[in-house]
Chain A
C-alpha cells in the first residue's frame, strides 16, 4: 500500500505534466487555426477587447514604406488628440518585422501609441485595408465605419499635394463620435499589403 502510493504519485505528476504540455500544444495549434494579431510580447491580441466600449482606430503602417513613414507625425498627432475617446492601435502587417524592429521604428518616428503585429493579416482582413498607410475606424460594437486613406495628400505615386485638402481619418473619427455619416471609403496611396504575403 505504502509502496504503491509512492510509485503512483510520481507517475501521476508525470501524467499531469504531459497533459499540460498537450494543452499548450492544443492552444497554439488552435491559435494558428483561428489566427490572431499579436502584442509585441508575442501574446495574442484583440484590439477590440481592450477598447472597453470605445471606438477603435487601426492604422496600418510598415517600417520600410516611405509614404507611411511620412505620415508618422500626423498619425501620432491624431491619436493623441482623440486618446480620451478612441482606442488607437498601430498595426504592422509585416510577417517578418520582429518586435524589436517595431519598437525601434516606433521610437525613431516618435510613435507613442501601442503597436500590434498582424503577420497573418487578421486585422488587415477585418479592416479591409490594402496599403500602408491606411486606417480603419470601428464603432464601439466593432462595426467598420471607414477604411482607407488618412487624407488626400497623395493622389498617386509621385503626385503629392503640398498639404492635404480632405482629412478622411479625422472626419471618420468625428463621425463615429457624433453618430454622423462617415466619409466614403477611399483607397490610400502607399505600399501594397498583399506584397507581404
Chain B
C-alpha cells in the first residue's frame, strides 16, 4: 500500500517535471516559461559582448576557467550558473571597489550588466538574431607574446594531491644566460591553469633560495619567501600571473636586467582539484637589446609587528604610512594579507591635504589576490603620504579562518599566520640636479621609516646605513651599521659592511676586528677577505694582506680588483715578477683596469725588475 502510494508520488513528480521541460521548450535553461516580453534580452545582442569581454579570457579551452563561454550553446548550458555567480560578484573575480583612479583591465561588471544577465535567464536565455552577434574573441594558443627567445622549464614537476588545503610551492629556475641580458618580458606558463590560483616570480640574484631545496631542482614548499641580497639592487617589477592574465611586455624603457647566476623563483598557489595533478611550469624569456632607461622601484608598507590578533576579534586594524621624499609616478599596487584579512585600504594624502583612494578591497579574498596596474600612471608629488589600513577578522564568522576554533594569530610566513603588506611600484622622477639615483633616496627614506617603526629592525639599520654610505654620509652610516651589528653580532655581512665603512672613514684599527669577525663566521666571504687585505695594506702588513688577497681570488678568480691589489702588495714586498703576473691577470679580466695598467708600467720601469 505504501509502496503504491510512493509510485504515484513519483509519477506526479515525473509528470510535473516533464511539463516544466515542455514549457521551457527550446529555451530550456529558464525557470520561467518564455513568453513574449517587452524588452527581449538576447544572447547575440546583449550577453555575448559581456561574456567576450569579461569572461572568455579564462573561459576558453586550455585556460583556467572550468568550461568555455564562447558560444550560445556554452552560455545556455550554464545560464543559471552565470546568473548566480555574477549576481553575487563571485565572477568575474575583481576585488577592488569602484574608485576614481582606474585600473587597467578592470573586470568589474556594472549593476546594469548584472541585471541584464539575470533578465536574460528569466526570459528563457534566448539566442537572438545571428546578425547581432559580435565576432568572438580569438585566442592565440601557447605563448601569448610569440615564441620566446629562451624557454626554461622547471626541472621537476610537483604533484599536487587530490584533496587537502591549498598548497604553496616554489620552483627555482636556473637562468640560462652567460652574461647580463635585458628582458622585455617574462611570460609565465604556470602548468595546469585549473589548479594554479596565482604565481609570482622573485628575482634571486644571490641564489639564496636554493638553500631551501632538499636536493637541487626539487623545489620547496612555502607561502612567503625571503630573498637575500647584499647589493643595492632593489626589486623593481611585479612578475605576477593570475588566471586570465594576458602577459604584456614591460613598458618602453623599463626592461629587466637578468644577470648570469641569477635564479628566478616561481612561487605558486595551488588548489587541489579532486584528482592528483602534476604541475611543471615554464618561463618564456624575451630578450631585448635596449637596456633600461627608467628605473622603477617596489616600495613596501607593512606593519607585521602590529599583528597580534586575539581569537574572536572581528575588527583588528593594522596601519602604516610613509611620506615620499621625491616625486613619483605610481604604476601598480599589490595589497597582501592572508586568510584573516577582511578590508584592505590604501590612501595617498597629497601635500595639499586632499586624499585619493589608491585601492580599497572591502572583501579581501586571498584566492583572488592580484597586482593591480593603474590605467594611467598616478603622479604623487614629494611629501605625499601613502597610508595603509588593513582590517582583520579572526572570528569563526570568517569562513576562511584557518583555525577552528580561532586562536591567537601573529605575523609569519605560513598561510595560517598573517601579513600586512602593501607593495607599490613607483617610478621616481629623475631630478635634474640629483647626483645620485632617486631610488636610493626612496630606499633611504623607507629604511629610516622602518628604523623608526622598530629600533630592533636589523635589516632597516643595515639598509639605512648602506644608503647613507652610498650617499657619502659616512658617520651616520657607521652608526647604523654599528646598531645592526649590535643586533646581530654574528652576522658576517653586517660585520663586513661595518668594517668596510670604518675602512672608508680611515678608522683602520676599528675596522679590522669586524672584518676578522666576518671571516670567523664566514671564512669564504670574499668581501671580508678583500677588505681585510686592504686594511692590512694600509697598515703596511703586506704579507698578511697577500694571504687574504689570495683567499679572495680563490673565491672569485675573475675579480680584477683583487688581482690588481694582490699585484700591488706583492710589488711592495719586492716580488716583482709575481706582481707583474697578477697585474697582467687583472688586465686580462678587465683591459681598462687603470690601476693595474699604471702599476704594470711602473713595475716595468723599476730597475729591480731586471735584476730578478
**Is the C-beta of A161 less than 8 angstroms from some C-beta in chain B?**
yes
Rounded to whole angstroms, the CA-CA distance of A188 and B3 in the bound complex is 29
Question: Which of A74, A157, A160, A195 has the most C-beta atoms of chain B within 10 angstroms of its own C-beta?
Answer: A195
On whether A109 and B29 interact (CB within 8 A), knowing A66-B66, A157-B84, the answer reads no
Rounded to whole angstroms, the CA-CA distance of A7 and B84 in the bound complex is 69
* Contact in complex: A70, B272 (CB < 8 Å): yes
Residues of B within 8 A of A142 (CB): 3, 6
On whether A192 and B90 interact (CB within 8 A), knowing A108-B275, A109-B274, the answer reads no
* Contact in complex: B77, A195 (CB < 8 Å): yes
Closest residue of chain B to A96 (Cβ to Cβ) is: B77
* Contact in complex: B163, A73 (CB < 8 Å): yes
Closest residue of chain A to B271 (Cβ to Cβ) is: A70
* Contact in complex: A64, B66 (CB < 8 Å): yes
**Is the C-beta of A35 less than 8 angstroms from some C-beta in chain B?**
yes
- Chain B contact residues, CB within 8 Å of chain A: 2-3, 6, 10, 13-14, 17-18, 21, 24, 28-29, 31, 66-67, 76-81, 84-85, 88, 90-91, 93, 162-163, 165, 194, 272-275, 339, 365, 367-368, 399-402, 404
On whether A72 and B162 interact (CB within 8 A), knowing A126-B10, A194-B80, the answer reads yes
16 CB contacts below 8 A, A to B, read A64-B66, A65-B66, A69-B273, A70-B274, A72-B162, A72-B163, A72-B275, A109-B274, A110-B162, A142-B3, A158-B88, A160-B400, A162-B400, A162-B402, A162-B404, A163-B404
Closest chain-A Cβ to B400's Cβ sits at a distance in Å of 7
Closest chain-A Cβ to B160's Cβ sits at a distance in Å of 12
Rounded to whole angstroms, the CA-CA distance of A35 and B18 in the bound complex is 10
Q: State the main secondary structure of chain B at its contact with A.
A: loop
On whether A70 and B273 interact (CB within 8 A), knowing A35-B14, A162-B402, A195-B81, the answer reads yes
Closest residue of chain B to A126 (Cβ to Cβ) is: B10
Rounded to whole angstroms, the CA-CA distance of A113 and B400 in the bound complex is 32
Residues of A within 8 A of B6 (CB): 142-143
* Contact in complex: A194, B31 (CB < 8 Å): yes
Residues of A within 8 A of B79 (CB): 195
Rounded to whole angstroms, the CA-CA distance of A65 and B78 in the bound complex is 11
Rounded to whole angstroms, the CA-CA distance of A110 and B161 in the bound complex is 12
Closest chain-B Cβ to A196's Cβ sits at a distance in Å of 7
Closest residue of chain A to B18 (Cβ to Cβ) is: A35
Rounded to whole angstroms, the CA-CA distance of A195 and B79 in the bound complex is 6
Bitwise interface map of A from 12 to 47 toward B, beta carbon under 8 Å scored 1, else 0: 000000000000000000000001000000000000
Closest residue of chain B to A189 (Cβ to Cβ) is: B84
- Chain A contact residues, CB within 8 Å of chain B: 35, 64-66, 69-74, 108-110, 121-122, 125-126, 141-143, 155-163, 165, 191-192, 194-197
Residues of A within 8 A of B31 (CB): 194
Rounded to whole angstroms, the CA-CA distance of A180 and B260 in the bound complex is 69
* CB < 8 Å neighbour of B165 from A73, A143, A159, A162: A162
* Contact in complex: A73, B162 (CB < 8 Å): yes
Residues of B within 8 A of A70 (CB): 163, 272-274
Closest residue of chain B to A122 (Cβ to Cβ) is: B14
Rounded to whole angstroms, the CA-CA distance of A158 and B79 in the bound complex is 18
Q: Which 4 A-B pairs have the closest CB atoms?
A: A69-B274, A72-B274, A157-B90, A73-B163
Residues of B within 8 A of A65 (CB): 66
Residues of B within 8 A of A126 (CB): 10, 13
Known: A72-B274, A195-B77. 19 other contacts (CB 8 A): A66-B273, A69-B273, A70-B273, A72-B162, A108-B275, A109-B275, A110-B275, A156-B88, A157-B90, A158-B93, A158-B367, A158-B368, A160-B400, A192-B81, A194-B80, A195-B76, A195-B81, A197-B24, A197-B28
Residues of B within 8 A of A71 (CB): 274
Closest residue of chain A to B368 (Cβ to Cβ) is: A158
* Contact in complex: A197, B21 (CB < 8 Å): yes
Closest chain-B Cβ to A192's Cβ sits at a distance in Å of 4
Residues of B within 8 A of A192 (CB): 80-81, 84
Residues of B within 8 A of A161 (CB): 399-400, 404
